[in-house]
């Protein structure tokens, strides 16, 4: 653990150390079918049926919907129950990304939200992602503060509750 500002804490990321998980073969096919068959508004409504479930089936369908709704979505996405979003069509999500329970990602119709490979977003986090870039191997938890350029978080860092304002 190192510190750049007195009273702050920077912790090395560990989420990206495990091997990336491949998507089951049905994910891309079903996401493509949903995108071709339903409007984005209808997909949002359908997503709500699986958004809060704890089963393996619910988790698989959340992954499929994120692939169908986002601009780009890499393999191995894990979306926990209760995750909400606005303007997912502006999201670019890397491979092996974890989005914790009750996270809310609020995109903007004219913005961009890019989440790098092997990124971990902790439970109950909130992003107002008008133009947000989280680079590869970033960890983020509720109550975290960004030091420096708030639109670009550096790789290999986990922002924690004790980070300086």
Q: For residue 142, is it within any domain?
A: yes
* Residue 30: predicted pLDDT: 97
- The number of domains in the chain is 1
**CATH for 111:** 2.160.10
* Residue 3: predicted pLDDT: 47
**57 in helix, strand or coil?**
helix
Q: Which residues have CB under 8 Å from 153's CB, separation 6+?
A: 133, 134, 135, 138, 140, 146, 159
What 8-state DSSP symbol labels residue 70?
A: S
Q: For residue 6, is it within any domain?
A: no
Is pLDDT above 90 for 50? yes
Q: For residue 10, is it within any domain?
A: no
Of residues 113, 117, 165, the one with CA closest to residue 139: 117
Q: For residue 165, is it within any domain?
A: no
Domain that holds residue 28: 22-159
DSSP 72-114: EE-TT-EE-TT-EEE-GGGEEE-SS-EE-TT-EEEEEEEEEEE
* Residue 117: predicted pLDDT: 93
Q: How many residues make up the chain in this entry?
A: 165
C-alpha angle 98-102-103 in degrees, rounded to nearest 5: 55
pLDDT in tens, 78-90: 999 999 999 999 9
Q: For residue 12, is it within any domain?
A: no
Q: For residue 9, is it within any domain?
A: no
pTM exceeding the 0.75 threshold for the entire prediction = yes
């Amino acid at each position: 653990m190192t510190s750049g500002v007195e009273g702050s804490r920077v912790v090395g990321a560990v989420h990206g150390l495990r091997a990336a998980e491949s998507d089951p073969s049905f994910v891309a096919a079903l996401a493509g079918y949903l995108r071709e068959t339903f409007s984005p508004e209808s997909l949002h409504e359908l997503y709500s049926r699986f958004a809060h479930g704890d089963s393996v089936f619910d988790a698989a369908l959340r992954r499929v919907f994120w692939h169908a709704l986002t601009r780009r979505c890499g393999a191995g996405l894990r979306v926990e129950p209760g995750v909400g979003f606005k303007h997912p069509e502006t999201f670019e999500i890397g491979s092996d990304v974890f989005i914790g329970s009750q996270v809310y990602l609020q995109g903007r119709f004219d913005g961009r939200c890019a989440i790098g490979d092997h990124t971990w977003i902790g439970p109950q986090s909130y992003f107002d992602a008008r133009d947000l870039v989280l680079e590869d191997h970033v960890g983020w938890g509720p109550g975290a503060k960004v030091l420096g350029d708030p639109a670009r978080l550096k790789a290999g860092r986990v922002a924690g509750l004790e980070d300086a304002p």
